[in-house]
Every structure is written in structure tokens, then in C-alpha cells.
Structure 1
Amino acid sequence: MIVHIVAGGPTNVLPHLSAYDNEDVYWIGVDRGVLTLLAEGIVPKRAFGDFDSISEQELQQLQTQLPHIDIWPSEKDQTDTDIALEWALEQEAEKIRLFGATGGRLDHLFGNVQLLFKGEDGQIELIDRQNIVTLHRNGKHVVAKKDEYRYVSFIPLTPIRALTLRGFKYPLDAHDVPLGSTLCVSNELIHHFGTFSFTEGILMMIRSKDEK
């Protein structure tokens, strides 16, 4: 099961959602993200949120259009996106992609980045028009070259022990990377596949491209 969650972030940083739409995908709308999906011609199978960012009339229309809509109080201990993500994890989704979760308010951005901790290695992807963000724990990982996303950066979320990069323009061999380091920003793959491995820590990988 592959789940795509569209949150209510600014639409100007969204990729073309139709490129991610196929019959094997389960779409979820979060708050205003439901309207974003409908504007793209995609009817989500579930919707979550307090819907405080849309009008009462829009909410009533959604209640008649959608098969499942879960309305939550505005005062709660989780964000709407967190609630939708936890539902997807409970369904044991093999891949979860988050859209509409970047841009705009920085507290929302950093909160959504923190949600990556809830999944397994690379299970959750945070995607916008220029970036694909995943989180990885210690071990060895394979990364395939994507010509569209030229740059591959590694950001330490904890101190990283013995980071090794193979198949990259700037390789590393068992190098410790402390918090606050920019050593691994803007690397590039030089082969069809590369690997990164480390013995301790949590690492964020960002695949990115320049805006055209």
C-alpha cells in the first residue's frame, strides 16, 4: 500500500500531483489539502483535519463529496498532518509521501520534518517541487541516481559516526560528522548507484534541484 498525503501548505511549491497518481495509490487530504487535491482532479479516499482554514460552506461541500472525512477539534495535541500520517502508519503502508508540507510557516516545516522520525528508513518522503527528503538510521543504504534531482545532501540530525560515501563526487571514508556540519551539503552521484553507510546516528538525505 502506497499512501500519498497532501497537507494544506502553499500550492506554489507543490510538484504536479498528477505525476504521482496511479491506481495503486491511496490519497489522503489534510485540511485545505483536500481542496488542492480536488483542484487537481483527484478525489481523496480519506480526509483529516479541523478544517479551520476553509469556510463552513466548503466543508459542507466536502462532506457530500468525500467517502470518509474525519473532523477533529482545532485544540488538540497533534497537527492534522500528524494525525493523517499515524493513520497511514497503522495501515502498514510500505511508502508514504507527504506533499504540501513545506513552504510558508517555518514551525509547520520543522514540525513536518520531525514526522519523518515516525517511519522506518526511507519509508516516509517529504516532497515539494524542488526536494525529496528522507530520514535514515545507521546501516548501509543504496541510493539510485535521479537526473532530475542533481544534488544529494546529508544533514546530521544527531552526531554521525563513521559516515562512508561511495559513488559520489565527494566520497568519504568512515568520517565522523558532528551536529552543525555542512560538510555533506550539495554532493552529487557520479554513477547510476551510490551507497552511504554509518555506524551510529540519524541522517537526513535531501535530494534537490535548482529552480528553473
Structure 2
Amino acid sequence: MKIFHILAGGPVDHYADFLYYESDDVQWVAADRGVFHLLQRNIMPVAAFGDYDSVSEEELRWMREQTTLHIMPKEKDETDLELAITWALKQKPDIIRIFGATGGRLDHGLANIQMLVKSLDTAIEMILVDHKNEISIKRAGTYVVEQNQRFPYISFLPLTETVTGITLQGFKYPLHNQTIQWGSTLCVSNELNSKKGTFSFTSGILMVISSTD
């Protein structure tokens, strides 16, 4: 299995526990100040992207001594994280996890979540992870979800205007063939009743968020 972990430049106190997701299959990629934080942890990225406007000149010199940096112009059409995600997708891994992408500016956080749609037309599972959430995006279909004590609450939010045919089995609050639209909280904060459950829907795109308090 080929797994890429991408570290963006968000606040350190919103990082998930990297060790929980670590394995021999993981390769790290970093964007902007995420490169600095990764190197501070003695983790060497296989690729590093950014204009590095969020680090000092001294920090940038130190980073250049540690690894090769793809230094991008400050004025460009993509964020540093988008460049890192685009590169990672081209490597065709099985899984991409994105860390350090929430907890700062709201516009950046929302844009980072929306970038999960880049994996929809691929076989790559892409997940945004922070200290309280795991977020993914799904097309219509049937999916198995396993109980996770770290993130016991599961919410389903429509990313398209309407999502139809939502059915939840094995959940505390089951549903059968329901439709939800933007602004609905019907599928917020559910829980599994057993070790495994299933969710399915027939049309639309759904955001799946596993969370803890």
C-alpha cells in the first residue's frame, strides 16, 4: 500500500496525533510552514511546496539545509496546499491524509475541505484529519463504517444541493431512503450501535465527518 501524508501550515494545536496514523507505507509531503514543523519533528518530506511567506528568513535557510524545497511565487492561482495535493494525486497512492489544514483562517479551512473533491474521480481515498475530526467526501453508493472510539460521532452533510436516498443501518438513529438539502441538520451527530454499520445514498455528494468532543 502507498500512503501520502500531507502537512499544511495550520496551527500546531490542531494537529492530530501523527503516531496513530504512522506505518511503514507512509511518505510525507509538506506545504509552506508545514515543511518547518515536519523537519522540526525529524521527519523528512519526499516533496515540499510553498512560497514560504509564513517562515522567517532564518527558518527558510535552515529548511534549505535540511531538504530540497519547491519554492513557488507568492502570486499564483493555487494555494501551497493545493500544489502539494495535486502532486500527491499524480503519484497515485492508495490513501492521502491531510494534516494541519484547519484551525486558522476560515476561508483557508473551507477551501482545504473542498479540495477533498479532487479525489472523487480517482480510486484514491483522501481524508482531512485534525485533533477532533476526520473528514472525507463520497459519491453515491454503499459504504461500511467501523466504530472508532477516538471519533465516535458521525455526521453526514450534503455537499451538493440535494442528496437523496440516504439509508443508515447499524446507527443509533437509523434512516431509510431520506433526502437532505443544504441547511439540514438531520444527519448531524449520529453514533454506531455496533462495531460496524453501513450508509448508502442514491444521488449527490456527501461529506462524512467523524468527530470527538
TM-score range, shorter chain: over 0.9
CA distance in 1, matches of 2:21, 2:129: 11
Q: Output one character per residue of 1:61-86: Cα deviation in whole Å (capped at 9) or x when no partner.
A: 212211x3211001000000000000
- SS class of match (2:142): strand
CA distance in 2, matches of 1:112, 1:32: 15
Contact (CA 8 Å) 1:122, 1:135: kept in 2 or not? Answer: no
Q: Output one character per residue of 1:61-116: Cα deviation in whole Å (capped at 9) or x when no partner.
A: 212211x3211001000000000000000000110000000001000001101100
Equivalent residue, structure 2, for 1:27: 28
Q: Output one character per residue of 1:122-165: Cα deviation in whole Å (capped at 9) or x when no partner.
A: 71110000100000010111111111211000011111111000
Report the CA distance shift for 1:122/1:172 in structure 2 as closer, same or farther (over 3 A): farther
Contact (CA 8 Å) 2:51, 2:72: kept in 1 or not? Answer: yes
- SS class of match (1:188): coil
Equivalent residue, structure 2, for 1:18: 19
Contact (CA 8 Å) 2:93, 2:124: kept in 1 or not? Answer: no
Is 1:162 the counterpart of 2:165? The answer is yes
Contact (CA 8 Å) 1:17, 1:40: kept in 2 or not? Answer: no
Equivalent residue, structure 2, for 1:147: 149
Contact (CA 8 Å) 1:122, 1:136: kept in 2 or not? Answer: no
**What displacement does 1:22 show?**
2.8
**What displacement does 1:40 show?**
2.2
**What displacement does 1:192 show?**
1.0
CA distance in 1, matches of 2:177, 2:15: 36
CA distance in 2, matches of 1:146, 1:32: 30
**What displacement does 1:21 show?**
2.8
**Superposition misfits of 4+ residues, deviation over 3 angstroms:** none
Equivalent residue, structure 2, for 1:115: 115
Contact (CA 8 Å) 2:92, 2:124: kept in 1 or not? Answer: no
Equivalent residue, structure 2, for 1:187: 190
Equivalent residue, structure 2, for 1:61: 62
Counting aligned pairs with the same residue, the percent is: 49
CA distance in 2, matches of 1:186, 1:86: 32
**What displacement does 1:41 show?**
2.5
CA distance in 1, matches of 2:194, 2:31: 38
CA distance in 1, matches of 2:15, 2:62: 24
Contact (CA 8 Å) 1:122, 1:134: kept in 2 or not? Answer: no
For 1:113, give the aligned amino acid.
I
CA distance in 2, matches of 1:78, 1:29: 15
CA distance in 1, matches of 2:17, 2:164: 38
For 2:62, give the aligned amino acid.
Q
Equivalent residue, structure 1, for 2:174: 171
Equivalent residue, structure 1, for 2:7: 6
For 1:156, give the aligned amino acid.
P
**What displacement does 1:17 show?**
1.9
The count of corresponding residues between Structure 1 and Structure 2 is 209
CA distance in 1, matches of 2:46, 2:92: 17
CA distance in 2, matches of 1:72, 1:172: 48
- SS class of match (1:191): coil
Structure 1 residue ranges without an equivalent (≥5): none
